[in-house]
């Protein structure tokens, strides 16, 4: 009976697998901390040169809106447009912040596919 070569999963591969698990655990811990940070952030979007401001958390939870008295004289349609624009601005900033923070979290870990 001949001695088998194994299934090709030697100590080198085991070490790589162990490192991959460590990196995954780092990401999981970092993601949890990031989620907490995003919940605490207040990101402001605005429109009309500050006539309308929308505050949103880093994970897109609406927090508040401020409408300057001058915006009320613009008419309903213009006010609706300003509010929508401010909401989109806050959403875009929040999404960008989240994406940047995730890239920071995963960037130094050399994970394939990320």
* The pLDDT of residue 114: 46
Domain 11-107 architecture: 2-Layer Sandwich (3.30)
Residue 8 to residues 4, 13, 18, 52, 97: CA-CA distances in angstroms? 10, 9, 16, 63, 43
Contact 55, 44 (CB under 8 A): yes
Q: What is the pLDDT along the chain (114 residues), one digit of tens a residue?
A: 445 454 555 666 777 888 878 887 878 888 888 888 888 999 999 999 999 999 999 888 999 999 999 999 989 999 999 999 999 999 999 999 888 888 887 775 555 554
Tokens of 50: 């500050």
């Amino acid at each position: 009976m001949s001695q088998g070569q194994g299934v090709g999963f030697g100590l080198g591969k085991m070490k790589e697998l162990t490192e991959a698990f460590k990196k995954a655990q780092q990401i999981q811990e970092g993601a949890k901390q990031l989620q907490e940070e995003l919940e605490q952030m207040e990101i402001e979007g605005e429109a009309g040169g500050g006539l309308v401001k929308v505050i949103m958390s880093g994970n897109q939870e609406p927090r508040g809106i401020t409408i300057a008295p001058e915006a009320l004289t613009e008419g309903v349609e213009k006010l609706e447009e300003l509010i929508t624009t401010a909401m989109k601005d806050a959403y875009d900033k929040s999404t960008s912040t989240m994406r940047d923070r995730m890239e920071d979290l995963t960037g130094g870990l050399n994970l394939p596919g990320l």
